[in-house]
Amino acid sequence: MIQQTLHDEIARLAATPILLVGCDYDGTLAPIAHSPSAARTDERSLAALRRLATLESTHAAVISGRARQDLIERLGITPNLALIGGHGAEMGAPAPAIAESASRGTAPLTFPDTPPAAPTEPSPGTIERLSTELEHIAADFPGALVETKPSGAAFHYRKVDPESHARARELVRSAALRLKAPVVREGTMVIEVSLVPTNKGRAFRWLIDRAYAHAAVFIGDDLTDEDAFAVLRPGDLGVKVGEDSSAARERIATTDDVHDLLEALVIAREQWLARRHLPAIEDHAHLSDQRTCALIDPHGRIVWLCAPRFDSPPIFAQILGGPGAMAGLAPSHAHPGGGAGGAGFFEIAPADGRQPIRRAYEPDTFILKTEYDGGLTVTDYLDCSAGRPYQRAGRSDLIRVVQAPPGSASPGESPAPGKIVIRFSPRIDFARSPTRLRASAEGLVIEGMLDPAALYVPGLDWTIQDDGPNQTAVTTVDLAAFPNNTLTLELRLGTTSLRVAQIPEPARREATRYFWTAWAKPLRLPTLHTDLVKRSALVLKSLCYGPTGAICAAGTASLPEQLGGVRNWDYRFCWVRDAAMSAAALARLGSIGHALKYLDWLGGILEDIDSPERLRPLYTVRAQELGPEGEISGLSGYGDSRPVRVGNGAAQQVQLDVFGAVADLIAILAEAGAALTPEHWRMLDHMIRAVSLRWREPDHGIWEIRGPMRQHVHSKLMCWHTVARSITAREITGEPVSAEHRALAEAIRDDILANGVARSKVAPGEPATPSHFTVAYDDPSVDAACLTVGLLGLVPHDDPRFAATVLAVERELLENDTVLRYRVDDGLPGVEGGFHLCTGWLIESLHLIGRRDEARKLLDKYAAQCGPLGLYAEERCTISGRSLGNYPQAYSHLALINACVRLSTT
């Protein structure tokens, strides 16, 4: 029976952004048995633990004195349920059962790495000597049992005469002393002798840190579980099973109570997750005028909009929360005042609270139409008329057209919604500056903005509500009072003018429609997932900053890579690498204009820097260097994911792969027959010069690891690719190729093949043979970026090293139809989802090594992972399937384009 105080603790813990639940096995998940082999798992408790492990932002673990392989055989493999044996000693390389499960796409652990290995690994001979010593002792104590483990052995004396217990323990300790075993632990009728350091607390603390758990629960009965209780933080919970003294704050009596506790916890957790009403990232609509972008949530609220540029401070940032934001609640629950403004939103909703029944873009555009039951529609777009996308940022118009059907509903039908509520709640710079509103007969003016802004909508009677230093304007409108039951609202950025627009709204909408459709019409689309590829191409175009040619990595800042975690970055800038890859994907579809414009943008940067090898990884859309990365302390973040970050510290990193993406783009243009200019050839020479000077250096790599620089294999590959593609471009156009360039490419290739390939294990005395390509020269781990070794042609497609790399990525990084980037420690707490770009690489790689049916199946699954409007975020949660990361993400869309083109043409 669980006491009320424990029920209260369960309710508190269930309502935490990231939860970790750990427990012992014997005496917790299984009743104590007379011998280890006789223990039987309580299947009800295991089922509850497995359910916890499958919930969003919830992790589970079993930490036991048993061998890890024994736990695997008893508990099976469950994604996100960590099985740790040897009192925390067995946390290293996967057991065969785990490796086998990973090949089926059901890897048992989403944590990206394992903690450092024990200082010494016991040899089989040492373990055998220890077991032999303990067996000799057991022979003198009838009923004693010796259990051999990978890290040592356990002496069980539950069935030994109680008067002999002390003598048996003394002999075991003496044996451990003779063998210099570093750890001897007393358990419940067992004494453990370990040849490596063991500590359940160390293991559980590592899990807490790696999961970035806001709260943790540990349940255990044994003396060794006290180590886990000892590492719990003030907000965590330790639960002792049994009557022995303990540091645990709560106590239950039996293993039956363990089931009741876990069942109560999983129910409370499920209920809390359901109550959050957190709009999925992928359910947001994206609007663009190629100077800025906006996001509209599923309830019809503008929740993200920066002005005047993609990388400017936002006036609506409700998607990132804020004080009193209630960002997860539907509009009908949002209180109009008292903090309802949060970080800013702009809402139009039926007064009766009905929700949208259908949302879709007009074909091949970013004109969004939202329909409600009863016939009400809202049409949203950023005005692209009169050449605005290519004009200097400063004047953008967000247009919202609300229309109700004429007349009343037929008998028996739902009444047509004639009244709407409008809530206009802008916030200057993430609500860091006071935002005041001035109402007039023509609309609203936002006061205090550096760049002026106004909402033009004449004839409304507004109520201005104070929210601390900020204000929100609210009105209820009966559409029957307007011509054709139609109301048009224009949010004018860059002016406070409230005069009638010279061009009527229908003409502006038609010009905007033409802007997108005319560009999409001539695209050469592949035969696979044609419509989704076209939408992806449009997304890439929408992320282009028209005035300069820069291409943003994504449209947002600080959407989390782990819900509730700290991996929150600002992607509203132009990465040299990402932008070149985006432009290359468009060029593969026959559109080269954005590639040429992007190279113009890059050429301007190269003219201004002292030396091309000092090219930074990213710049603002206006080609300026970024300021320092900062945090917005007043915002709660999407799904309580803190901190909210702006700027990006990666701008100060060394990323040597950027040169290769630029050279590849120029070569693609050459292959497409584009007229390359002397500036393009000089740019290629700059890239080669940079590579020749720096290719031997370590760097932070494509994944921008926030730790020590390393000799990343992918970075070396891209240095080689820089030279190889420069040579290709010159050969295509008949330009001369220097012998020095060919020699440089060969030297880099030889270096990669000598140092960037893991060696497979062989029998003693035999030489090691090359296996898969690795993350770095000093690390045999697998990295999905190494798939590019074959995709870019460093080795041929039938090279066994490439095939081994594909198999290794598939075995170790493919989870639930999405591919993780890596599992190594990247210097940050928490975990992340599968990375869509990596999924695209694996699809292409499977195709190239001849596994075409499997490539096609994975492609179809990838296509199905987009949101309802055809948009992708950066990542996908391997447990819940929820989209993670900034949105929409260029990498994810170019990955789909490249995979569909590859599978359609070769």
Enumerate helices (H) and strands (E) in the chain, giving the number of each.
22, 37
Distance CA 629, CA 647 (A): 4
Are 626 and 619 spatial neighbours (Cβ–Cβ below 8 Å)?
yes
* Residues constituting the chain: 906
pLDDT score for 322: 66
Q: Which of 472, 438, 475, 437 is nearest to 459 (CA)?
A: 475
pLDDT score for 128: 86
Q: Is 65 helix (H, G, I), strand (E, B) or coil?
A: coil
For every residue of 572-614, which 3-state class applies, written as one string?
CCEEHHHHHHHHHHHHHCCCCHHHHHHHHHHHHHHHHCCCHHH
pLDDT score for 104: 31
pLDDT score for 102: 33
Q: Which residue has the tokens 């006036």?
A: 315
CA 846, chain centre distance (Å): 23
Are 875 and 885 spatial neighbours (Cβ–Cβ below 8 Å)?
yes
Q: Which residues are catalytic?
A: 24
Q: Is 891 helix (H, G, I), strand (E, B) or coil?
A: helix
Q: Amino acid identity, residue 570?
A: D
864 contacts: CB under 8 Å, gap ≥ 6: none
Rounded to 5 degrees, φ, ψ at 596 are -65, -40
State if pTM tops 0.85: yes
Mean pLDDT of successive 10-residue stretches along the chain, which has 906 residues: 86 96 97 90 97 94 93 91 90 40 35 44 76 91 89 88 92 88 80 84 93 96 94 96 94 95 97 92 98 97 97 97 49 38 92 94 98 95 96 95 76 64 96 94 94 96 94 96 96 96 96 98 98 98 98 98 96 98 98 98 94 94 96 93 96 97 98 95 96 97 93 98 97 94 98 92 63 94 97 97 97 96 89 96 98 98 98 96 97 98 90
Pairing of strands 875-876, 463-467: unpaired
Q: Cis before residue 888, ω within 30 degrees of 0? A: yes
pLDDT score for 411: 44
DSSP label at 501? P
DSSP-derived secondary structure for 195-264: SS---HHHHHHHHHHHHT-SEEEEEE-SGGGHHHHHT--TT-EEEEESSS--S-SEEE-SHHHHHHHHHH
Q: Which of 81, 80, 51 is nearest to 273 (CA)?
A: 51
Q: Cis before residue 17, ω within 30 degrees of 0? A: no
Q: Is 694 exposed, middle or buried (0-12, 13-18, 19+ CB in 10 A)?
A: middle
